[in-house]
Amino acid sequence: MGVPKRKKSKSKKRMRIHSHKKAILASRPCPKCGAPQLSHRVCPKCGTYRGRQVLIISADE
Ligand SMILES: [Zn+2]
């Protein structure tokens, strides 16, 4: 199996970690309620996905 020739520098390690973090934070406003939601995920605020109600969210908040 291939073994890395050199230790990854702190900078390179951080770059890799933060690239993942960026992907998690990538969000768009929900078309229904405007809250930030992850793309290709059901909106956690109103429970809709592509204009369809998929989750029943209790209104008493
Ligand atoms: Zn929503």
Q: Tell me, what's the pLDDT at 18?
A: 81
* pLDDT-derived band at 6, boundaries 50, 70, 90: very high
pLDDT, residue 10, reads: 95
Residue 18: phi, psi to the nearest 5?
-70, -25
Give 5's Cβ-side CA count (13 Å radius). Answer: 0
CA–centroid distance, 45 to ligand 1, in Å, is: 5
The Cβ of residue 37 has, within 10 Å, a number of other Cβ atoms equal to 21
- For 49, phi and psi rounded to 5 degrees? -140, 120
Q: Is the Cβ–Cβ distance between 10 and 16 less than 8 Å?
A: no
Ligand 1 center from residue 58 Cα (angstroms): 13
- Domain spans in the chain, listed from the N-terminal domain onward: 10-53
Ligand 1: distance of its center to the CA of 38 in Å?
A: 10
Q: Which two tokens stand for residue 31?
A: 């078309």
Residues 6+ away with beta carbon under 8 Å from 18: none
Q: Looking at the predicted structure, is the pLDDT value of residue 14 above 80?
A: yes
pLDDT at 1: 84
Q: Mind listing the pLDDT tens digit for each residue in 15-59?
A: 888 877 665 566 778 887 877 877 788 888 788 888 777 777 676
